[in-house]
């Protein structure tokens, strides 16, 4: 196992505390971010190798990552790995696992804490990479990188909690305890929308529990993954423990999933891709001696209920932020507003005025609240849904492309939408909000639950009985009361959904690391052990 000599880090860091976000209203912070973007621009167009079994490899065919605000600007050049390379990556990771699983948990945790310190020291640089590669605005980049650091700190502490012998109920005449041991080789397949936090979170949860991983980032966001993996190496993670792998999902990606030595797959992305992985993982391959585990976070069609007893102005702000933050490209984004008929017209009118204030343009400019959608295919799909929505409801805001050479789409609001309409039922993953009128709270809850998804939701109401009822009946993994339905914080809002939203993994929570381990019970009869 290839090792990097790195000083040990003190692992006693006290209680977990979320990272504070940088305040960009301060002139010195604005200048620092501008400088970071300028610095990152000097590094655009670099080529990044694969890292398999600790060795860097290149291929003839390449993957090009571009700036969605300026599609002709190349962010990075990456390798298009083959099926043979995928098989090699798993085989090498399986070899590395035999050593890494024996590394004391304290040393693995120290790697995460060192990585957190490195990321803090490079925070604005990492922000800038997200700003340019996936079109995140300054506050959105801060949320992404802040969450990434939070995962390092939180999962490190959780690994320490779970790393020792776990007490069991005493049984007369025996010594009994339980240990959480690693699974083996994991395949981490992250999305492009939280290209740092989700990618890094799944990776760090894997390695801190003793697994080895092959990280296959989205072709839309490989640069931040390459930089993050290099930070792990700098922090002391052996290069053969984490492999960096870029390639087509339909060939090399499927080879990673299907390999008999792959023990688990951690995935975040679309429902279709998640179900495909679940199906493939369920098939036993020749030589496979376990049932593969899948940790799947998939789509959402998230609803916010606005009751007649709500603070309408607060609800308008919460819906606007939830629907149009990062261009609606969050699985947690509000795409359905279900509003009581008693305040419906007031809400729609105020929301339209709020949406008109949203500025769309290059995320390099902090004055813009919305940047581009991720690529041309996404823009085409979103505009197609807007055309459908114009027929299914009443267009009251937006409705087309926004100005600029990039993939900019106007924040779009379509009112008077039926609960069976396509734009009410299907995940759009863009800045499109459907508003539907509810007769009463019963009707609102019924419509909110009328979805194959069950990720996030919110309720605006001053009525405690309705809040309590929603807590019982609103069937989502993350439910928020009188606040927006996006912005889950590590440690406070364990994240994961029901139904077609995935396996309810609850990332950032105390149960999450258990998904990357298996429990072994050890029982010893008192007095049975003798020294020869």
Dist. CA 209–CA 48, nearest whole Å = 28
Query: Which CATH number fits the domain that encloses residue 207?
Result: 3.40.605.10
Q: For tokens 């027929």, what's the residue?
A: 391
Could you tell me if 476 and 455 are in contact, meaning their C-beta atoms sit under 8 angstroms apart? Answer: yes
pLDDT at 325: 98
Question: Which residue in 104, 318, 95 sits closest to 185, CA to CA?
Answer: 95
Set 133, 140, 147, 297: catalytic member: 297
Structure tokens at 85: 């390379």
In what side-by-side order are the strands of the sheet with 185-189? 55-57, 50-52, 242-244, 212-215, 185-189, 262-268, 293-297
Domain tally, the chain: 2
Burial class (CB in 10 A: 0-12, 13-18, 19+), 450: middle
Q: Is residue 213 part of a domain?
A: yes
pLDDT at 527: 76
pLDDT at 526: 87
Residue 102: C-alpha distances to residues 72, 314, 415 (Å): 47, 52, 58
Is residue 485 part of the annotated active site? The answer reads no
Q: Is residue 13 part of a domain?
A: no
Domain identity same for 292 and 326: no
Domain identity same for 221 and 329: no
Question: Which residue in 110, 118, 120 sits closest to 20, CA to CA?
Answer: 120
Domain identity same for 488 and 364: yes
Query: 152: phi > 0 → left, psi -120 to 50 → alpha, else beta; which?
Result: alpha
Question: Which residue in 136, 103, 116 sits closest to 228, CA to CA?
Answer: 116
Query: Which CATH number fits the domain that encloses residue 468?
Result: 3.40.309.10
Q: Is residue 29 part of a domain?
A: no
Q: Is residue 134 part of a domain?
A: yes
pLDDT at 3: 36
Domain identity same for 284 and 398: no
- List the domain range (segments joined by +) for residue 420: 302-495
Q: Is residue 25 part of a domain?
A: no
Domain identity same for 197 and 312: no
Is residue 331 part of the annotated active site? The answer reads yes
Domain identity same for 215 and 116: yes
Domain identity same for 317 and 435: yes
Listing DSSP states for 466-501 in one string gives HHHHHHHH---SEEEESS-S----TTTS-B--EETT
Q: Is residue 31 part of a domain?
A: no
Cα-based torsion angle of the residue sequence 463, 464, 468, 471 in order, rounded to the nearest 10 degrees: 60
Q: Is residue 203 part of a domain?
A: yes
Domain identity same for 110 and 185: yes
Set 331, 334, 364, 410: catalytic member: 331
Domain identity same for 320 and 291: no
470-498 pLDDT, tens digit per residue, is 999 999 999 999 999 999 999 999 999 99
Could you tell me if 402 and 368 are in contact, meaning their C-beta atoms sit under 8 angstroms apart? Answer: no
pLDDT at 531: 58
Domain identity same for 57 and 136: yes
Q: Where are the alpha helices (DSSP H) in 268-356?
A: 271-281, 312-324, 344-356
**What stretches in the chain show pLDDT beneath 70?**
1-10, 528-532
Dist. CA 525–CA 532, nearest whole Å = 17
pLDDT at 9: 54
In what side-by-side order are the strands of the sheet with 174-182? 166-167, 174-182, 517-525
122-139 pLDDT, tens digit per residue, is 999 999 999 999 999 999
Q: Is residue 152 part of a domain?
A: yes
Domain identity same for 148 and 294: yes
Domain identity same for 91 and 125: yes
């Amino acid at each position: 196992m290839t090792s990097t000599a790195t000083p040990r880090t003190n692992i006693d860091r006290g209680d977990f505390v979320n990272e504070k976000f940088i305040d960009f209203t301060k002139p010195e912070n604005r200048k620092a971010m501008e400088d970071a973007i300028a610095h990152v621009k000097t590094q655009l167009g670099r080529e990044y190798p694969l890292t398999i079994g600790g060795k860097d490899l290149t291929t003839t065919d390449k993957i090009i990552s571009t700036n969605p605000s300026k599609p002709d600007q190349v962010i990075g050049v990456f390798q298009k790995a083959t099926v043979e390379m995928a098989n090699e990556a798993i085989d090498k990771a399986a070899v590395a696992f035999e050593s890494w699983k024996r590394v004391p948990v304290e040393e693995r945790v120290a790697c995460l804490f060192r990585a957190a310190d490195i990321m803090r020291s490079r925070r604005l640089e990492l922000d800038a990479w997200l700003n340019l590669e996936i079109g995140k605005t300054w506050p959105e980049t801060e949320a992404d990188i802040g969450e990434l650091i939070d995962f390092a700190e939180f999962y490190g502490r959780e690994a320490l909690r779970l790393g020792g012998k776990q007490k069991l109920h005493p049984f007369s005449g025996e010594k009994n305890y339980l240990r959480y041991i690693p699974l083996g080789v994991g395949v981490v397949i992250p999305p492009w929308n939280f290209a740092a936090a989700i990618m890094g979170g799944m990776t760090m949860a894997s390695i801190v529990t003793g697994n080895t991983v092959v990280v296959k980032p989205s072709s839309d966001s490989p640069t931040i993954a390459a930089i993050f993996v290099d930070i792990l190496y700098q922090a002391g993670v052996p290069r053969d423990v984490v492999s960096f792998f870029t390639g087509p999902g339909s060939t090399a990606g499927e080879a990673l999933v299907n390999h008999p030595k792959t023990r688990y797959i951690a995935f975040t992305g679309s429902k279709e891709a998640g179900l495909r992985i679940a199906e493939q993982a369920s098939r036993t391959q020749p030589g496979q001696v376990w049932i593969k585990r899948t940790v799947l976070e998939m789509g959402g069609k998230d609803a916010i209920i606005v009751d007649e007893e709500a603070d309408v102005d607060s609800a308008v702000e919460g819906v606007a932020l939830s629907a149009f933050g990062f261009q609606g490209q969050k699985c947690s984004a509000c795409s359905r507003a279900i509003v009581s008929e008693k305040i419906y017209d007031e809400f729609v009118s105020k929301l339209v005025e709020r949406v008109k204030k949203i500025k769309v343009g290059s995320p390099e400019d902090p004055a813009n609240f919305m940047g581009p959608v991720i690529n041309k295919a996404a823009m085409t799909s979103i505009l197609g849904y807007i055309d459908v929505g114009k027929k299914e409801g009443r267009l009251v805001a937006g409705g087309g492309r926004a100005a600029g050479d990039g993939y900019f789409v106007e924040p779009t609001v379509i009112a008077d939408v039926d609960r069976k309409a396509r734009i009410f039922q299907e995940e759009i993953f863009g800045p499109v909000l459907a508003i539907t009128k509810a007769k009463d709270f019963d009707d609102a809850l019924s419509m909110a639950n009328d979805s194959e998804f069950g990720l996030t939701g919110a309720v605006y109401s001053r009525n405690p009985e309705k809040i309590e009822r929603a807590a019982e009946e609103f069937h989502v993994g993350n439910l928020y009361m009188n606040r927006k339905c996006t912005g889950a914080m590590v440690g406070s809002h364990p994240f994961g959904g029901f139904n077609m939203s995935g396996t309810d993994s609850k990332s950032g929570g105390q149960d999450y690391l258990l998904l990357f381990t298996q429990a072994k019970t050890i029982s010893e009869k008192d007095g049975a052990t003798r020294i020869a």
